[in-house]
Amino acid sequence: MRRALRILFSTLFVLFSFGIYFTNRIMYMRRKKDQFILNREKETGWFNPEQFEALPKREVLISSPFGYTIKAQLVEPHDTNRYIIIAHGVTENKINSIKYMNIFLNRGFNTLIYDHRRHGESGGKTTSYGHYEKFDLKAVVDWLKNEKGQNIFLGIHGESMGAATLLLYAGMLEDGADFYIADCPFSDFKEQLAYRLKKELKVRGDIFLPLADLFLKFRDKYSISEVSPISVIEKVKHPVLFIHSQKDDFILPSMTEELFEHKKGPKMLFMAENGSHAQSLRENREDYEKAIDEFLENYVLLSKQSVVTR
């Protein structure tokens, strides 16, 4: 009897420890230091501080529906109603978005870059891989439309978690932009976690994910299954450009291919030849920009209304 109790308590302790450990890794994934990101972007030539400081811009503080402040920069060098919001990936911050911002500045768009919850200078205690982030994105979109007018011509670009976030926003909350660019999103968070568990810890997701989900529901009030762009992608009516590196082994390119297949209406797929996860622009700059130009020209169909000046 005592032996059976010891085995029971030992098993419960192991399960409890795993539940806490795994949900800690999800909720409090280690972020890159802001100074590291700044130095990296400067050293690789994607961020020029002098050029950035010379741009007409202002700091923006946006209220999250969850009670904290979202820190953003609104960059407006052009007299136009074209705007694009850029959402960075997990562990990054809005400095990482500047390389994408410059693409659209060069194409006549004004831009808004911002820090996700628990990243950069924004508030928030946990990371939820798009679940809570999609509501923050809606707050950012609403703020921009209230500030600049409901008829602005709006795009949203996202990288990795930012890409999943914009798809969840468009499919679950409101298809509130005129076009979307999803760079290396996951199609389903549960499948992504199962893949990472097998690859990193050599354990089966079907055994441990139900336990992790139970702990996550208790600790952060949402389910892993709720973070699933593939379950809502058919609701997105506006054009989507899907981008992924063929060599990405962190989020598999098959996830983007699956999203592309299920998206109805206007869509385009660009599979970059080179680069690891979230490196499609860095390793394929000319082709990346060419894909954006083709997408804007052939799928977004910029109208005269999109270039009306203020």
Per-residue pLDDT of 25-55, as tens digits, reads: 999 999 999 999 999 999 999 999 999 999 9
CA-based nearest residue to 158, from 136, 125, 190? 136
What is the reported pLDDT for 309?
46
What is the reported pLDDT for 310?
45
What is the reported pLDDT for 13?
61
CA-based nearest residue to 166, from 79, 78, 240? 240
What is the reported pLDDT for 14?
62
What is the reported pLDDT for 168?
98
- Domains in the chain and their CATH numbers? 1-30+196-221 (no CATH), 36-188+227-307 (3.40.50.1820)
Alpha carbon of 191 to those of 196, 210, 222, 225, 298: distances in Å?
9, 12, 16, 9, 33
What is the reported pLDDT for 108?
96
For residue 175, the number of C-alpha atoms closer than 13 Å in the C-beta half-sphere is 12
Q: Which residues in the chain show pLDDT less than 50? A: 303-310
The predicted model scores a pTM of 0.94
What is the reported pLDDT for 16?
74
